[in-house]
Structure 1
Amino acid sequence: MNRRTKIAAVGFALLLTVGAGGTAVAMADFAAPGADGRPVVREAAALTGTAKLYRPAGDDITFSFDAHLAAKDNTDPQAATGTFRFSHYKDGKGGYAVAKVDCLTTGGKVAVVTGKVIETDVDAFRNKRVGISVHDDGKRDRLGYSWVGRDTDLEVPPCLSSAPFEKVLPGTGDFTVLPWQLD
């Protein structure tokens, strides 16, 4: 066999191997066997985890997420469910809010979640929709939120937030973003 034929054969074998592996990974995402042996379809998207923001002045700022989009709702990010919570305290002063998720979109390692505040001790957040973005880079996660800027009284539309501009405190970012796979 000449050299070109050998190279072509090896390349073809690699493509077959990679293709088979990719198919196995895709099948694992959508049809992994459950405890009862039947295929279990993974959810369409998710954002989970907790982190503290880095602030040199020592502020205690925490964000926690438990947001999910079921596989059956794959084409409707506004069918997402769950909650997220954020708090900001310094020198014994501050507040918290809990929001009920009303939209979740993810792409790669980035997620945007919005929700209506259902519990808070901060009047400015009461019954407002807020948006948060997360970048799960696996080393030092980042986070952004909709209430930055001069006009913080704006009503945030579903599925929107700012870019993830804040760094989380090293060792606290355990966000997990499950990428949305539109089919």
Structure 2
Amino acid sequence: MRPVAASVLAMAVVLSAAAPAVATGPREPRLSGTVRLKTSTTAEIDFTIDARGVDEAARGTFMIHHKEGDSDVTSRGEVVCLQVGGPVAVMTGRTTWASDPRVPIGGRIGITVYDHGRHDRLGASWQLGHGGDIPSCMGMAPQAEIASGNFTVQS
């Protein structure tokens, strides 16, 4: 190898080794996935969530589909809050559309997810029995088992 070429090659190796790695920054908390809940009836209850962000700055969407007998209701909404701690995420959203007029548009829903591999759990709460709205960033204990699908919680 010629001395000039060897010098250029050596300089390229030194410069590339000294170049800083590209920083990606901290990961943004996220809750995503689609699941069907286990039920003791013939009901099919599906949840799809794509939420990201922190607290009241969270954004994203959710969809709930509940089919049982002659009833077939789908509702969609926007995420308004997300809190993540380890494998648990609590998401609050507001319903923006529903296929059934009995579903309150603007009503708040709270969803808690425990990401436990293929054994995830979900808890969901709607308006309280006395007609009040549930608080933001609050949800029920994740007691419902998942029949199929998967959620991913990223903190």
Task: Give me the TM-score of the superposition, normalised by structure 2.
Answer: 0.79
AA matched with 1:133: T
Cα deviation for residue 134 of structure 1 reads 0.5
Mapped pair 1:133 → 2:112: yes
DSSP 3-state at the match of 1:116: strand
AA matched with 1:131: G
Report the CA distance shift for 1:173/1:101 in structure 2 as closer, same or farther (over 3 A).
Answer: same
Size of the aligned set, in residue pairs, is: 134
Q: Is the 8 A contact 1:130 1:145 kept in 2?
A: yes
Q: Percent identity?
A: 33
Aligned position for 2:6? none
Among 52, 57, 82, which residue is 1:68 paired with? 52
Among 82, 86, 110, which residue is 2:64 paired with? 86
Cα deviation for residue 159 of structure 1 reads 0.3
Over residues 53-96 of structure 1, what are the superposed CA-to-partner deviations in whole Å (9 max), with x where a residue is unaligned? 01131211000110001xxxxxx511001011111101241311
Aligned position for 1:144? 123
Alpha-carbon distance between aligned partners in 2 of 1:77 and 1:140, rounded to the nearest angstrom: 26
Mapped pair 1:175 → 2:151: yes
Among 28, 47, 50, which residue is 1:44 paired with? 28
Alpha-carbon distance between aligned partners in 1 of 2:74 and 2:127, rounded to the nearest angstrom: 16
Report the CA distance shift for 1:121/1:153 in structure 2 as closer, same or farther (over 3 A).
Answer: farther
Aligned position for 1:164? 142
Cα deviation for residue 111 of structure 1 reads 0.5
AA matched with 1:153: G
Report the CA distance shift for 1:94/1:135 in structure 2 as closer, same or farther (over 3 A).
Answer: same
AA matched with 1:93: S
Cα deviation for residue 38 of structure 1 reads 2.9
Among 60, 78, 81, which residue is 1:100 paired with? 78
DSSP 3-state at the match of 2:132: coil
Report the CA distance shift for 1:39/1:48 in structure 2 as closer, same or farther (over 3 A).
Answer: same
- Unaligned 5+ segments in structure 2 are 1-20
Alpha-carbon distance between aligned partners in 2 of 1:112 and 1:165, rounded to the nearest angstrom: 13
Mapped pair 1:109 → 2:93: no
- Unaligned 5+ segments in structure 1 are 1-36, 70-75
DSSP 3-state at the match of 1:57: coil
Task: Give me the TM-score of the superposition, normalised by structure 1.
Answer: 0.68
Normalized per residue, the structure richer in helix is 1
